[in-house]
């Protein structure tokens, strides 16, 4: 009996940080829907230090064993050379690129007064620069294809976080990087639409190496056979849809996803406003701001602040 074509049949998908956790779940889910997958992972530890095995190759082996098609890439996507070689790996191996999922990252959590400059730079590098460089090189390839008359239904899925949307105590570096990814997503969606590229972001919550300690402290493990709301595999269906041609018309959006829940996040937009048509005095500005704040919706609390 012939296999039913999947949602991403024949598409070429690159997933960064795909050796474990969310990235691994995404890579396997794309392959299950017929995609050919480039599995990128540098194989470093939770804090980005030192190699820790060959997780990319292990995921490729899983995909091949299930009858899919995949290739491993072990380059550092936070370098120009590594990001360029990632896109080249997809094009040289499969002749095209359809979807880029930026997922790679690690944590170096500290309260701000204890946060070293190296910890700030390392987290910014892997999350923010590690999104920008693959996006830049993929965009250049898609632009060239478009100019050659071969416009594709290209997709980019970036990975932000609730920490980037609301902030998270003890994660100033991570929160800032993830907020920057939202800004990058909005700009990329506006700039790249002319080349047939849609760019969206997710803010996922799942149990991975980066979060397992938090969930172990705050949530009981699911009973045998019960729905595991924190399994990373719960996030991947939305990522696969966003990475598929079926998501046509959806761009510049941020989705929060956790367990069986999907939420469209609505970002900054004008609230209560006052305009006197002339300069305020400091006292007048303060009085007016207080009135506007009283008429506005209160912000949601920062994670870990209550």
Strands 99-101 and 154-159: parallel
Strands 154-159 and 197-205: parallel
Q: What is the three-class DSSP state of 178? A: helix
Pairwise CA distance, residues 105 & 17, whole Å: 7
Residue 153: CB atoms within 10 A of its CB come to 15
Distance spanning both ends of the chain, measured CA to CA: 56
Of 85, 178, 195, 247, catalytic: 178
Q: What is the three-class DSSP state of 278? A: coil
Catalytic residue list contains 161: yes
Catalytic residue list contains 178: yes
Of 85, 129, 160, 161, catalytic: 161
Catalytic residue list contains 195: no
Pairwise CA distance, residues 70 & 219, whole Å: 35
CB 131 within 8 A of CB 181: yes
Of 94, 174, 195, 303, catalytic: 174
Pairwise CA distance, residues 13 & 10, whole Å: 9
Closest Cα partner for 77 from 109, 103, 54, 59?
Answer: 103
Residue positions annotated with a catalytic role: 161, 174, 178
């Amino acid at each position: 009996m012939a296999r039913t074509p999947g949602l991403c049949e024949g598409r070429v998908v690159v997933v960064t940080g795909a050796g474990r956790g969310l990235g691994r779940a995404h890579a396997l889910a794309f392959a299950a829907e017929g995609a050919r997958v480039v599995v990128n992972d540098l194989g470093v530890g939770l804090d980005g230090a030192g190699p820790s095995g060959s997780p990319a190759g292990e995921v490729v082996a899983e995909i091949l064993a299930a009858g899919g098609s995949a290739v491993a890439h072990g380059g550092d996507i936070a370098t120009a050379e590594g990001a360029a070689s990632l896109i080249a790996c997809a094009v040289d191996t499969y002749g095209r690129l359809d979807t880029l999922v930026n997922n790679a990252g690690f944590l170096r959590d500290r309260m701000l007064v204890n946060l070293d400059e190296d910890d700030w730079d390392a987290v910014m590098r892997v999350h923010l620069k590690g999104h920008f460089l693959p996006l830049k090189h993929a965009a250049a390839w898609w632009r060239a294809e478009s100019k050659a008359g071969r416009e594709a239904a290209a997709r980019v899925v970036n990975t932000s976080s609730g920490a980037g949307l609301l902030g998270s105590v003890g994660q100033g570096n991570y929160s800032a990087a993830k907020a920057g990814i939202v800004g990058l997503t909005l700009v990329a969606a506006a700039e790249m639409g002319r080349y047939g590229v849609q760019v969206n972001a997710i803010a996922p919550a799942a149990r991975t190496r980066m979060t397992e300690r938090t969930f172990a402290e705050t949530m009981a493990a699911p009973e045998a056979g019960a729905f595991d709301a924190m399994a990373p595999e719960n996030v991947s269906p939305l990522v696969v849809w966003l990475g598929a041609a079926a998501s046509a018309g959806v761009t510049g959006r941020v989705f929060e996803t956790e367990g069986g829940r999907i939420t469209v996040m609505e970002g900054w937009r004008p609230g209560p406003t006052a305009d006197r048509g002339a300069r305020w005095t400091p006292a007048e500005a303060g009085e007016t701001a207080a009135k506007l704040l009283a008429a506005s919706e209160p912000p949601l609390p920062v994670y870990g602040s209550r």
